[in-house]
Amino acid sequence: MFNLIVSGGLENERRGSIMASRVFDYTSEEMEEKFKPGGVLDIPGVMSLPTILMEEGVGDQVAGVGWLNRIERKGTDYQLHFSLDPDVPRMTNAEISDLASELDIDDFEFHRNHWAIKDVDLFHVLYRKGAGKRSSPTVFQLSEKPVNPKLVSFMMPFSGPFTSVYHEVKARLEADGYKCQRADDMWVHAHIMSDIIELICTSAVVVCDLTGKNPNVFYEAGIAHALGKEVILITQSHDDVPFDLRPIRFIHYLTGC
Q: What is the pLDDT of residues 202-253, one digit of tens each?
A: 999 999 999 999 999 999 999 999 888 999 999 999 999 988 888 888 999 9
Contact partners, residue 58, CB within 8 Å, separation at least 6: 93, 94, 97, 110
How far is CA 17 from each of CA 79, 125, 145, 244, 248, rounded to the nearest angstrom? 5, 26, 38, 24, 22
- Domain residue limits, the chain: 2-133, 148-252
Bridge partners, residue 70, by sequence: 81
* pTM for the whole structure: 0.54
| CATH 3.40.50.450 at 148-252, yes or no | yes
Of the candidates 111, 117, 121, the one whose C-alpha atom is nearest the C-alpha of residue 23 is 117
pLDDT above 60 for 134: no
- pLDDT confidence band for 184 (50 / 70 / 90): confident
Cα–Cα distance for residue pair 219/58, rounded to 1 Å: 36
Return the half-sphere exposure (C-beta side, CA atoms, 13 A cut-off) of residue 6. 24
Q: How many residues can be counted in the chain?
A: 257
